[in-house]
């Protein structure tokens, strides 16, 4: 495995990653393996997690895939026992499971637009179960894995928890109130955990990705013919760097925050990686 650019050394450390079958966390898994970590890839889609594990192992790293439901503590505890038996105690936990749901998304950005959109789903039509699912997936899907795996790190030097928030946590986007609120909760929870574990040898931080093109949002950002949607134009107009991020541009912050020498006095922070979106007032 090739070395990482920051020389973050994770040799022998067990790194547990939820949502590891996805593009972002799958990439994180590869980078942490390249830094010497032994990777436990947790995902409800075990085939996707296995594909990432196979890639890591083929490149000379160490990885195991596990089917896991981050909303079921009993399931997580079962997976935890398997990870301990296969790889050892958890040193690094990346809470990457999360996402939005159409049932918790409005069709209109502003209520006065309701007459302009046929069969428009407004704020008043949001599905209660959909909103509950989004909050559970993002918040409980961070809390429950932490309850299960952080216990391994207690009173051991160098424990790290990294949560995946979103720039929505700071500036809520139109149409997705549940997702924005849930990610705000993740940032607040990161700060709470950092305080709670400050004397226990565990650092807790987060990153807040801005706009990156992935499978979940591609349909919102581009038309079927590949042309940008009006929402894409708004996003890029509000991003001082004038482009979407590349997934590789998330890696530096992750490796830095997990580096126990470079970031030894950093806990409770959330780093926006958004091309300046959160800093720009629009004027």
Instruction: Verify whether residue 170 is a known catalytic residue.
Output: no
Q: Residue written as tokens 């207690």?
A: 154
Report the alpha-carbon distance of residue 78 to residue 81 in Å, rounded: 5
> What's the length of the chain?
283
CA-nearest of 201, 82, 191 to 151 is: 201
Report the alpha-carbon distance of residue 173 to residue 106 in Å, rounded: 11
Q: Which helix (H) or strand (E) holds 130?
A: helix 128-135
What separation in angstroms does the CA of 167 have from each of 89, 182, 200, 277, 279?
32, 12, 29, 8, 10
Which residue among 66, 170, 179, 280 is the active-site one? 179
Query: Torsions phi, psi of 154, nearest 5?
Result: -60, 130
For residue 93, the SS3 value is strand
CB 37 within 8 A of CB 13: yes
Catalytic residues: 179
């Amino acid at each position: 495995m090739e070395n990482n650019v920051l020389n973050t050394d994770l040799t022998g450390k067990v790194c547990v990653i939820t949502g590891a079958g996805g593009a972002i966390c799958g990439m994180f898994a590869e980078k942490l393996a390249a830094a010497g970590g032994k990777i436990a890839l947790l995902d409800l889609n075990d085939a996707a997690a296995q594909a990432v594990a196979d890639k890591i192992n083929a490149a000379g790293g160490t990885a195991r895939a596990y089917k896991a439901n981050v909303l079921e503590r009993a399931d997580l505890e079962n997976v935890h026992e398997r990870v301990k038996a296969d790889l050892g105690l958890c040193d690094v936990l990346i809470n990457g499971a999360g996402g939005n749901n159409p049932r918790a998304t409005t069709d209109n950005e502003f209520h006065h637009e309701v007459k302009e959109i046929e069969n428009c789903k407004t704020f008043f039509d949001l599905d209660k179960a959909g909103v509950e699912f989004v909050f559970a997936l993002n918040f409980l899907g961070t809390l429950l894995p932490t309850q299960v795996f952080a216990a391994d790190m207690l009173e051991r030097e160098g424990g790290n928890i990294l949560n995946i928030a979103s720039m929505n946590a700071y500036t809520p986007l139109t149409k997705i109130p549940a997702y924005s609120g849930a990610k705000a909760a993740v940032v607040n929870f990161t700060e709470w955990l950092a305080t709670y574990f400050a004397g226990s040898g565990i650092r807790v931080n987060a990153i807040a990705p801005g706009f990156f093109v992935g499978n979940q949002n591609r349909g919102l950002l581009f038309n079927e013919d590949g042309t940008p949607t009006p929402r894409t134009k708004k996003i890029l107009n509000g991003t001082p760097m004038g482009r979407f991020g590349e997934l590789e541009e998330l890696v530096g912050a992750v490796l830095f925050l997990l580096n126990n020498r470079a970031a030894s006095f950093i806990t409770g922070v959330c780093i926006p990686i958004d091309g300046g979106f959160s800093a720009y007032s629009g004027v």
